[in-house]
Amino acid sequence: MRFEAGRLAILAAGVILITSCGSAAGPSPSPTLAAIATTVAPSATPSPTPTPQPTPTTVGSAAASTAPTPTPQPTLLPPIAENTTVVTLTKIPIPPLSGKTASIDLIVIDQEAHRLYVADRITNGVDVFDITTKDGNVAIIDLTSLTLITKVNTGGKGRADELDYDPKDNKIYVANSGDGFVTVIDATTNTIVHKFDNLGAALEQPQYDSADGLMYMTSSDQNAVFVFDPVKDVLVRKDVLAILCSPQGIAINPKTNQALLGCNVGRAGSTGTSLTVAWDLAKGIFVGVFGQVGSGDSVTYSAKTDRFYFGAHNFPHGSSIGIFSGSPIAFLTNVPTGSFSGAKNLAYDETNNLIYTQDALPGEGALISFTPPK
């Protein structure tokens, strides 16, 4: 079985550990970016403090309220027609979440076995779906046939959040977001072989890059991308973005060694401007800034379609899935998720050409799927 299937087996086991370790505080607000450019040409060398020049943009931002209220109410902006493609959405029930509000973190697909795995915080486990067919009749697999191999205690007070698998060195990198450390687990012995302490707040998504063999990880509060060498288990460097992004998700195109960062700055009810950033992994600099979509979380890349898919659930113009070309990275369109809120995590089914994401409306625990526009 190829790499993705092996990674899924580890994710399926690891996600139970993730969902059972409590919760951590969310990222704190970041300073406002005055304006953004919809395209920024790459520079030859990193610049420590480049300042984006004011450029006309059609993307609005919701400023933080000055009124002394503990819960600012977001005001959604209308969709921008030229940036939007409306498609048919199919709702897929999750029986264990019937009448409940979904709290889903990871959605991952085993492309060969046609299985979709959902990290389900409400049931404290993993929901497994058969996605062999393209219709909405998704079968749920009996979890009693699955075997828990082991549990690895990272020692954190809060949750072990995101993780990724390095198939070359057979290691798992797990981020304890609120505790500020990363744990390295040997996937052969299922033991901790290294720990990176004192990395700071809001550690987000580790992502292995098969092109250079390095592990990358975002930090939303630190507006940064960490770079690890899994061979020696050392921190190579920490790249601070020269543009305000608050990156959470990251997906990599190994052919270009570039990534798309899922920025969460500019969400409704907060300061900042919604955007998405194209990132050069080798140079540690941004090579593109896109104002058509932002304020989200998860990003995934499909080599089959050469597309990035970004779950912009907090986008002020409405919860959307942003779609970008992979090489070069360029914005294509947004697919609004309509009344289906919380579409921050997603996965792409290569066999049936479907995107799966979550419906997090109160009492509406379910998945939704749609065929992405070309």
| pLDDT at residue 133, rounded to an integer | 85
The pLDDT assigned to 94 comes to 86
pLDDT at res. 144 = 59
* pLDDT (0 to 100) of residue 215: 98
Q: Write down the pLDDT at residue 139.
A: 54
What is the pLDDT, as a whole number, of residue 348?
98
Q: At CA 245, angle to CA 299 and CA 224, rounded to 5? A: 85
Burial class for 256, CB neighbours closer than 10 Å (0-12, 13-18, 19+): middle
Domains recognised in the chain with CATH numbers: 3-26+74-370 (2.130.10.10)
Rounded to whole angstroms, how far apart are CA atoms 213 and 231? 8
What is the Cα–Cα distance from 344 to 235, expressed in whole angstroms? Answer: 29
Q: What is the pLDDT of residue 121?
A: 84
Each residue's pLDDT, cut to its tens digit, for the chain (374 residues) gives: 333 434 444 443 343 333 333 333 333 333 333 333 333 333 333 333 333 333 333 333 333 334 444 444 456 789 999 999 999 999 988 888 888 888 888 899 999 999 999 888 888 888 889 999 877 555 555 555 667 788 899 999 888 889 999 999 999 999 999 999 999 999 999 999 999 999 999 999 999 999 999 999 999 999 999 999 999 999 999 999 999 999 999 999 999 999 999 999 998 767 789 999 999 999 999 999 999 999 999 999 999 999 999 999 999 999 999 999 999 999 999 999 976 567 889 999 999 999 999 887 888 888 999 999 98
* pLDDT value, residue 343: 83
CB under 8 A, 24+ apart: contacts of 74-81 = 74/267, 74/268, 74/269, 74/316, 75/268, 75/316, 76/268, 76/316, 76/317, 76/318, 77/316, 77/317, 77/318, 78/317, 79/317, 79/318, 79/334, 79/336, 80/292, 80/317
pLDDT number for residue 8:
44
